[in-house]
């Protein structure tokens, strides 16, 4: 009886309900695959409100793991009151896939993912037209974990004329092979590589990943092996080869990914007890961005502060995004120069 019980559809139902209640609707767009040649295409699944934006647009980019609806389910309600949200599944996740040509396309790098998102934005109504001053509507972007890599690439490639304020959450843009070794050391003995934890194949690996990603993980009695096997089957087994393919495309930690300062305003958000990317990396990234980025550390959270303390996370995002997009007060400018 236990083997037939699956929590995945239930969680998926409640996550989708949050998106629908926020006014978002599921859509798909077929776009050229950036790295696949002239005949290759990709399918991007995304959530967005119908019609042209009446509020400032905000792109939410999920991390490695479950689909976008699971990772941003606590944000879409509060954020949708102030922003026109666009929440895609990255290539290789959820309903998004890459490559339809006869030859297998190369795995999508962060730059490829960013190019696909740029193409998606250009295809959406009201986001590719110019205003009376000849400017295209700017889009704010927030990315968590792997999605932070993509958000950084998108902001740098598109520039501040297209992409506005940037939020990097729990995302080690400076990750190296030494950081991977540190991660495995924190995980304990018995792991042959980072992929064994990020793509768990056994309940023990899934349980350890949960313990490291969440400050207060559920007790073992609430996560028996048959429940964890079901999560592994639904989230990691059916598309395991695709996810391994995607892992091979990651360029963070190589000479292909060089962090340079962004021209946009940047917020860095981190969980105080993050065991995947230790909190000191937040300040290292701040230094690599010329020290101008704002850093917010959320106490009593680990790698997923947007789910562990959504009220605090949402307030930090809203305060930053609204202040970044607010027009400068001439009186304040004048006062600051005196």
Q: What is the pLDDT of residue 144?
A: 98
- pLDDT value at 332 more than 60: no
What integer pLDDT is reported at residue 331 of this predicted model? 40
Name every residue whose Cβ is closer than 8 Å to that of residue 175 and which is 6 or more positions away in sequence: 252, 253, 277, 281
* Per-residue pLDDT tens over the stretch 251-288: 998 888 999 999 999 999 999 999 999 999 999 999 99
Per the structure block, which two tokens stand in for 325?
């997009």
**pLDDT tens profile 171-230:** 999 999 999 999 999 999 989 889 899 999 999 999 999 999 999 999 888 889 999 999
* pLDDT tens string 22-43: 999 999 999 998 876 667 889 9
pLDDT band at 6; cut points 50, 70, 90: confident
**Cα-Cα-Cα-Cα dihedral sign, residues 159, 161, 163, 164:** positive
* 304: DSSP letter: -
The phi, psi pair for 26, rounded to 5°, reads -75, 140
Per-residue pLDDT, averaged over 8-27, amounts to 96
DSSP three-state, residue 70: helix
What's 40's DSSP letter? -
Over residues 302-328, the pLDDT tens digits come to: 999 999 999 999 999 999 999 987 654
pTM of the model: 0.92
Measured CA to CA, the distance from residue 276 to residue 145 in angstroms comes to 9
Query: For residue 185, which phi and psi values (nearest 5 degrees)?
Result: -65, -40
Percent of the chain's residues with pLDDT above 70: 90
Domains and CATH numbers, the chain: 12-175+255-324 (3.40.50.1820), 177-249 (no CATH)
3-state SS track over 161-219: CCEEEEEEECCCCCCCHHHHHHHHHHHCCCCCCHHHHHCCCCHHHHHHHHHHHCCCCCC
Q: Is the pLDDT of residue 336 over 60?
A: no
Which pLDDT value is given to residue 131? 66
């Amino acid at each position: 009886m236990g083997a037939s019980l699956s929590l995945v559809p239930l969680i998926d139902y409640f996550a989708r309900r949050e998106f629908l209640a926020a006014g978002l609707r599921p859509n798909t767009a077929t776009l050229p695959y950036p790295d696949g040649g002239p005949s290759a295409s990709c399918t991007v699944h995304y959530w967005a409100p119908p019609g042209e934006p009446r509020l400032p647009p905000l792109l939410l980019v999920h991390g490695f793991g479950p689909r976008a609806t699971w990772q941003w389910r606590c944000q879409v309600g509060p954020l949708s009151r102030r922003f026109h949200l666009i929440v895609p599944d990255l290539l290789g996740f959820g309903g998004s896939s890459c490559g339809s040509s006869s030859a297998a396309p190369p795995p999508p790098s962060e730059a490829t993912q960013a190019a696909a998102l740029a193409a998606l934005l250009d295809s959406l109504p009201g986001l590719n037209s110019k205003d009376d001053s000849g400017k295209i509507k700017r889009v704010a972007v927030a990315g968590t974990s792997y999605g932070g890599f993509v958000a950084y690439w998108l902001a740098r490639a598109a520039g501040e004329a297209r992409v506005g304020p940037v939020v990097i959450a729990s995302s080690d843009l400076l990750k190296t092979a030494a950081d991977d070794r540190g991660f495995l050391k924190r995980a304990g003995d018995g792991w042959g590589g980072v992929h064994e934890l990020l793509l768990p194949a056994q309940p023990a690996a899934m349980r350890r990943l949960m313990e490291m990603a969440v400050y207060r993980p559920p007790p073992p009695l609430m996560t028996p092996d048959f429940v964890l096997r079901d999560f592994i089957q639904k989230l990691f087994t059916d598309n395991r080869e695709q996810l391994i393919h995607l892992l091979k495309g990651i360029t963070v930690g190589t000479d292909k990914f060089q962090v340079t300062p962004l021209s946009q305003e940047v917020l860095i958000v981190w969980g105080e007890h993050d065991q995947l990317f230790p909190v000191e990396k937040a300040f290292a990234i701040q230094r690599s961005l010329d020290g101008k980025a704002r850093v917010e550390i959320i106490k009593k959270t680990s790698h997923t502060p947007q789910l562990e303390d959504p009220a605090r996370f949402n307030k930090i995002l809203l305060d930053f995004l609204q202040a970044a997009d607010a027009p400068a007060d001439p009186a304040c400018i004048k006062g600051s120069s005196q």
